[in-house]
Homo-oligomer: A and B are copies of this chain.
Amino acid sequence: MNSLVIEFFWDPASPYTWLAATQIEALAARTGATVSWRPFVLGKVFEATGNRAPATVAAKAKHLFKDLGRWAALYGQPLNFPKVFPVNSIAALRMACAAGATGDSGRFALAVMRAYWVDGVDIGQPEALVAAVSAAGFDGAALLAASQQQPVKDQLRANTDEAIKRGAFGAPTFFVGSEMFWGNDRLVLLESALAAAAKA
């Protein structure tokens, strides 16, 4: 049997996506699956579906920090809420599309999200973004240049449109074939489905 693929639609603007990103490769390893890291634009998904970020409800926003801290502690992962929030993640996502073409998309995604959610880098600023991904071993300047090419921009738009068409309304969103899972808090359901598929 071919290995199952988890398509992981991610946007570094989303804290729950960072949390899930810290877990997804280990989950894939446990279930014999592989991860396909797919950058997409969460803001466009919200626009298209009429969904909105949790922080738009005041009582939810107040609770959000506590909830994020609990998940981070459960996972044993760092998470420092950045001073700049929300952030413009378009440049980072386009660079991710460019990095993806070199087959290094997962490592790039984790580097960008760590820069924002752990080190507080304002990834909406191209200079800061280039410095952060260069420090993680990428050629930041080359990726920034590549990210300004039309085919790379088109790729990001196509990823986003595809996710919306397949039913996405938030982030992180996972697909295993046509089966969609939404949210860091559904990793338990994703793992259960992969384990069942591996048995079958």
Contact = CB atoms under 8 A, between A and B. Distances in A.
Interface in A110-160: none
Contacts of A49: 57-60
A97 interface: no
Contacts of A60: 49, 51, 169
A186 interface: yes
Contact of A59 (B51, B57, B58, B59): B51
Contacts of A26: none
A183 B183 CA distance: 13
Interface in A161-195: 167-169, 180, 182-183, 185-186, 188-189, 192-193
Nearest to A46: B57
Interface of A: 49-51, 57-60, 62-63, 66-67, 70-71, 74, 167-169, 180, 182-183, 185-186, 188-189, 192-193
A182 B70 CA distance: 12
A50 B193 CA distance: 34
B182 A63 contact: yes
Contacts of A63: 167, 169, 180, 182
A188 B168 CA distance: 25
21 contacts: A49-B57, A49-B59, A50-B58, A57-B169, A59-B167, A62-B167, A63-B167, A63-B180, A63-B182, A66-B180, A67-B182, A67-B186, A67-B189, A70-B192, A70-B193, A74-B188, A74-B189, A183-B185, A185-B185, A185-B186, A188-B188
